[in-house]
Amino acid sequence: MEALSHIFPSQDYALLGVILALPLLGAIGNGIFGKRLGKEAVTLMGLSAVGVPFLFALASFCLLACHGEGEHTTTSLTWTAWHWLELQGSGAGVANFRSISLDVAFRMDPLSGVMSLVITGIGFLIHLYSSKYMEEDPGYHRFFAYLNLFIFSMLVLVLGDSLPILFVGWEGVGLCSYLLIGFWFTEEANAAAGKKAFITNRVGDFGLLVAMGLLACYVGALDWTGIEAGREALLSPVKVWPVSDSVPIAGVLPQSWAEFLNAPRYLDPATLVCLALFLGAMGKSAQLGLHVWLPDAMAGPTPVSALIHAATMVTAGVYLLCRLSPVFVLSPLAMFIVALFGALTALFAATIALVQNDIKKVLAYSTVSQLGFMFLGVGVGAFEAGFFHVLTHAFFKACLFLGAGSVIHAMHARIHDTNASQDMRNMGGLRAFMPGTFMTFVAAWAAIVGLPLTSGFWSKDEILFKAKTSFVTAPAELRGHSPTGPVAIDTFVWTEGMGTALYLIGLTAAILTAFYMTRLLLGTFFGEFKGWTITPGWTDPHAAHGHGEDDHGHDDHGHDDHAHHAHEEPGPSMQGPTPHESPWQMTLPLWILGGLAVAAGFLNAHAIHVAPLGHFLEPVFTTASKSVASHEGAEGFLWVGMAAAVLVAFGGGVGFAYWVYVQMKGVPAAEWTAKFPGVHAFLRDKWRVDEFYQETIIGAVDSLAEMCVWADKYIVDGILARFTAGLTQVLGTILRQFQTGRVQAYSAVMTLGMFGVAAFLWSPQASVREQVDERAGTYALAAAPGLGFSYRWDVDGKEGWDGEYGAAKAAHFKLDVGEERTVKVAVKNAFAVESEKVFTYVRPRPDLSRPAGSVEGPTRIVKGEDGKLRAGGGPSEPGAATGRPSPTGPDMEALKRAMERQRKEDE
Amino acid sequence: MTAGSLLFAVCAALCLAGALLVVTAKNPIRCAMGLLTTIVGIAGLFLRLSAQFLAAMQILVYAGAVVILFVFVIMLLGPAASGEAAPPQRPSISQLIAGAMVAVLGVLSLGLIGYGDSHAFELIGQSHGSVAAVGSRIFKEGLVPFELATALLLVAVVGAIAVARSKPAGHKAKPAKEENPTRRMFQGPVNRPGAAGAARENV
Amino acid sequence: MELGLVVEHYVLLASAIFAIGAIGFLMRRNVLVQLMCIELMLNSVNLTLVAFNRRHHGDMNGQMFAFFIIAVAAAELAVGLAIVLQFYRLRGSVHSDEASSLRH
């Protein structure tokens, strides 16, 4: 440890660079050379690209943990890679925005340390799992390349020291999610799911970008320390409505409406920033509204679902909120919205999971629901609790997904159709055939339903407790200035009723969670196996065709096997082998994760005051926790709440499920489905959110696209292309008539042309070249020469010509400041044809922006005691030079010189 | 009416009459005669203007060679020379316009008679316009143009022969076009068996 | 009134001949007649030059110019008539409307 801190000082902790670089190198290597190097090499590269960073991250984590107190007080390890760019601001009218320096810098503090351990650790386990799960897939190297790239991006996200770096990682994980969901892109549905994920994320990214802009504008910094230091600037209210001085349509509305519309509304930037950030988190963490991508993302391989959509990427939103907790606690309103959305998401997803039959879909909605819990925890100010739930969720959800993958692996051996092999109605009784998978699945199930003393119990209980008792205190009354005077906004006050409501919603969701997870467990592992009739010694009759290898190939639909087995429906009529347990590469991660799911709770078991993790995370949340308080009677509620959680949620949910599905053999469920078909359909169709979006938003975009197609066809093609082509053709046909091929016609046209030229030469042109000196006010005009030209001028400003026609080619005159004069010149050529031209000149006021003492001349103009301006010597202060130059003084000299020059020229 | 005026009047009349004859006569021989008349008239005017050498040249070259050449060609062409066999089309619009403008120019010129100051001729000596005077001018300042004009005449002779020559009988039968290797290079893929495959490979 | 002692008379006559030649060139369809009209125009220019030259005593530039114009006109006519002959051989007539290969 000492050696490590010697080699890498905590301010220049280059090991972070190594941790980041290894997965990236793995991705590049696997991607470019993987196909050539073969499966073993790819496995080695892929696993080491995540395993070695895990070790380094562990070492760094220990460095942080051990040296967290004492004389070193290392609370974070930073490393700056290079200086990225400087943002330059104009600084006009906005508080702090002068220049923001962005470095590519990374920081490992307790929060990001834990996250990086989760990412690399669980990532390594899932890489190990995938080495067996994806063994038969022809895109093996591509899979590992994408997985490594994902690890890299996620590490950039959590280790980044500023919002832009986080955003780079944010986008990177979004990209990898798209690539991995659509891994088997030859199927239209998979590619569509990938696109959906990416686009829904994009909506959230917009929020993140807006938040970055707002932070840059109001706080003037984009890195964590800078934001925390300058966050007070977010409290002064800004006018959000109307955008300019008044709403345009208010002019035509009746008086009271117009007043209502035009009344200025103020909001504090903290709320705006937090809502924008939450929009970003909504997209990434699949909260209500932007959750639609996560269930569809199950189209990707199961390890992907485990890693990305359970353990790491979807938690990026929670990480963002934890990271920017100092900003979030400034806005109780935004926090309440976060908590409310979290609670509603938890409930919403839980109701849908009740009626799903695909095990991956159940787990997907379970993920959405648990994410809701996390946001509920973070929203009420319990950042530690929310983050702890991230950790425990990573363990038990990854374990659940990997276990589901193991089950699907076994099912797929016989049922090749993707949807059928994942359908719970074709499973059952698998605990006899897959004991290892079964036991780890039970461990994870125990955690998620909240069996006392498991990790899920501690974290969920903590969240529910905090939901009832914790709230965010308002900052001092928000005061600010506006052009019309001082402004004060009322802050949002958090009442006890809100806490209770959130608690009740969360509790309901917990009950439902217990119910559907038990249903899943019972449906998959208990009862009779409904997939096929197990005939010992059954071999695949089509294996002899050389397709044996592809028995375990997953989701290769374009395959002959599928056609052969297509007519066979899963059920007693189908025959098949015994479902087999998975190899050690797949079960070892299950055991590790299952064990962690059970045991990790004691890292942060606040109720019994055993909380090393909480203690470790304290420095990260100190600023935020200053604004978080508890309602009265919190302590008393602690045990009440725990009892409620155990009895109602765990006991009630699990017991009820047991009663319905084991004791009553699923009959009540079928009865309710028959009695309330509408409700059942509504829940099964995911509350028809996708359909709603399709009708409204996507429909709108489609209509827009149709309009554009029409515009392209008829306007661009029709008018711009065909019309212009037609016009050119018509013109061509007309002009072609002139090409008669006869010399006479050509010479006739030539003659016409010559007459034109002759006419031009016949008439004289009266053009002048002018020399203007605006500062001195002298104007000199020189007329263009011509054969036999004689000139006549009128420059003196008086009516009538100055003289008769003569040979004077030039004339000059002088103007006062602001004076306007119309001058005329007439030429007469040898044919006695006259031509005249009129010019108008205005002498403008002198340009005040030029500082006095510039090169233009020694004249200094100063304000005398009498207030009049005069030319004077000596240095003048900037800004004192104004106004018209005096009529006497150096100007006259310059003019006289100019006149002399003119006279000489004329001679 | 002095003799000079009379000379002027007669020669001017000859010029105009000849010009009109050129423009209006149907028979090309009549046109040629009109041209001859104009040339002779111009020569007379040259004499009035003390350009004796030039007057001689005018008669020699124009009347003695140009008009003869015209007559030769007209005779060579025979009955086809009248050239109005094709139904006379109406003049096109541009022609009419151009003709009108030129006519306007002519009328304007007539209208300008007596306008402005006249620039009278001075009295000059005999040497003005003599062979010696013009000759010395040509061979001193105008030597290069003179030599170039010589070359021009030579080229014109050669050119006229080249253009007017009818193709001798021997050239009528041309040998079969020999295979041009360049042409073969640029032929399409039809003739080259491997080209189609190569095209496909380029995808 | 004394004709021919003022340069304007000659210029006037020359412009008349020029106009007649120009109109004739534009109107007549016979190629030979067109060539003759060109000669007319050239002659009118010659006349103008010599007339103006009369005003400059001792400076023979105008007449020299006219001399060269005569030479060049002769050369041009030779080649032009050769072309007419070829044209006749090609088209069988000397109608200028036949020379319309440049037609669209």
What does the block give as tokens for B61?
Answer: 């070259």
In terms of DSSP H, where are the helices of A160-241? 163-181, 188-218, 224-229
Cβ contacts of A129 within 8 Å, gap of 6 or more: A303, A306, A402, A405, A585, A586, A589
Task: Share the mean pLDDT of chain C.
Answer: 90
Least confidently predicted of A174-183, A235-244, A276-285, A287-296: A235-244
| CA A758 vs CA A73, A106, A755, B97, C53: distances in Å | 96, 80, 5, 16, 24
Q: Rounded to a whole number, what is the distance in Å from the CA of A797 to chain C's nearest CA?
A: 44
Hey, are the CB atoms on B120 and C6 less than 8 Å from each other? yes
What is the per-residue pLDDT for A873?
A: 45
The answer to whether the bond into A785 is cis (omega within 30° of 0) is no
What is the third-level CATH fold of B1-79?
Four Helix Bundle (Hemerythrin (Met), subunit A) (1.20.120)
Q: CB count, 10 Å around CB of A845? A: 11
The answer to whether the bond into A242 is cis (omega within 30° of 0) is yes
Does residue A649 register a pLDDT over 70? Answer: yes
Does C83 map to a domain?
A: yes
Residue with tokens 């489905």: A673
Hey, are the CB atoms on B62 and C39 less than 8 Å from each other? yes
Does C99 map to a domain?
A: no
pLDDT tens profile A25-36: 999 999 999 888
Other chains touching C, judged by 3 or more CB pairs under 8 Å: A, B
Q: Which residues make beta-bridge pairs with A791?
A: A806, A827
Owning domain of residue C54:
7-93
What is the per-residue pLDDT for A869?
A: 58
Interface of A with B in 684-743 (CB under 8 A): 740
Q: Which residue has the higher pLDDT, B95 or A81?
A: A81
What does the block give as tokens for A205?
Answer: 């990214």
What does the block give as tokens for A702?
Answer: 């489609």
pLDDT tens profile A105-152: 899 888 999 999 999 999 999 999 999 898 888 889 999 999 999 999
Instruction: State how far the Cα of A48 lies from the Cα of A51, in Å rounded to an integer.
Output: 5
Domain ranges of chain B: 1-79, 174-203
CATH code assigned at C53: 1.10.287.3510
Map A231-290 to HEC letters. HHHHHCCEEEECCCCCCHHHHHCCHHHHHHHHCCEEECHHHHHHHHHHHHHHHHCCCCCC
Q: Which residue has the higher pLDDT, A874 or A411?
A: A411
Does C103 map to a domain?
A: no
Q: Which residue has the higher pLDDT, B167 or A227?
A: A227
- pTM to 2 decimal places: 0.65
Does residue B58 register a pLDDT over 70? Answer: yes
pLDDT tens profile A343-390: 999 999 999 998 888 999 999 999 999 999 999 999 998 898 899 999
Does residue B185 register a pLDDT over 70? Answer: no
Predicted-assembly ipTM surpassing the 0.90 threshold: yes
Q: How many cross-chain Cβ pairs, A to B, lie less than 8 Å apart?
A: 23
Instruction: State how far the Cα of A67 lies from the Cα of A737, in Å rounded to an integer.
Output: 95
Q: Rounded to a whole number, what is the distance in Å from the CA of A738 to chain C's nearest CA?
A: 9
Question: Which residue, among B79, B92, B67, has the nearest Cα to C29 in the 3D structure?
Answer: B92
DSSP letters spanning A658-670: HIIIIISTTHHHH
As a whole-number percent, the residues of chain C with pLDDT over 90 amount to: 53
Does C54 map to a domain?
A: yes
Put simply, whether A754 touches B (Cβ < 8 Å) is no
Instruction: State how far the Cα of A375 lies from the Cα of A389, in Å rounded to an integer.
Output: 10
Q: Which residues make beta-bridge pairs with A102?
A: A85
Q: Rounded to a whole number, what is the distance in Å from the CA of C72 to chain A's nearest CA?
A: 21
Put simply, whether A754 touches C (Cβ < 8 Å) is no
Does C104 map to a domain?
A: no
pLDDT tens profile A588-645: 888 999 998 888 888 887 777 778 888 888 888 888 888 787 777 777 777 777 777 7
Hey, are the CB atoms on C96 and A736 less than 8 Å from each other? no
Interface of B with C in 145-184 (CB under 8 A): 145-146, 149, 152-153, 155-157, 159-164, 166
What is the per-residue pLDDT for A791?
A: 84
Other chains touching B, judged by 3 or more CB pairs under 8 Å: A, C
Q: Are A51 and A131 in contact (CB under 8 A)?
A: no
Q: Which residue has the higher pLDDT, A513 or B90?
A: A513
Put simply, whether B102 touches A (Cβ < 8 Å) is yes
What does the block give as tokens for A423?
Answer: 């359908």
What is the enclosing helix (H) or strand (E) of A842? strand A834-842
How far is C-alpha A901 from the chain's CA centre?
A: 69
- State residue A783 phi and psi, 5-degree precision: -85, 150
What is the per-residue pLDDT for C48?
A: 95
Cβ contacts of B166 within 8 Å, gap of 6 or more: C89
As a whole-number percent, the residues of chain A with pLDDT over 90 amount to: 28
Does residue A62 register a pLDDT over 80? Answer: yes
What is the per-residue pLDDT for B179?
A: 58
Q: Which of B92, B104, B108 to mutate to test the interface with A (most CBs of A within 10 A)?
A: B92
- Mean pLDDT, rounded, for A646-657: 83
Q: Are A282 and A204 in contact (CB under 8 A)?
A: yes
What is the per-residue pLDDT for A579?
A: 78
What is the per-residue pLDDT for B155?
A: 95
Instruction: State how far the Cα of B3 lies from the Cα of B40, in Å rounded to an integer.
Output: 18
Q: CB count, 10 Å around CB of A901? A: 14
Q: Which residue has the higher pLDDT, A844 or A737?
A: A737
pLDDT tens profile A308-348: 877 788 889 999 999 999 998 888 889 999 999 999 999 99
Least confidently predicted of A6-15, A161-170, A876-885: A876-885
Q: Which residues make beta-bridge pairs with A78?
A: A107
User: In chain C, how many domains are there?
Assistant: 1
What is the per-residue pLDDT for B30?
A: 94
Q: Are A530 and A427 in contact (CB under 8 A)?
A: yes
Hey, are the CB atoms on C102 and A736 less than 8 Å from each other? no
Which residues of chain C are at the A interface, by a Cβ-Cβ cutoff of 8 Å?
22, 25-26, 29, 34, 96-97, 99-104
Put simply, whether A745 touches B (Cβ < 8 Å) is yes
Question: Which residue, among A391, A342, A355, has the nearest Cα to A118 in the 3D structure?
Answer: A391
pLDDT tens profile C31-73: 999 999 999 999 999 999 999 999 888 788 999 999 999 999 9
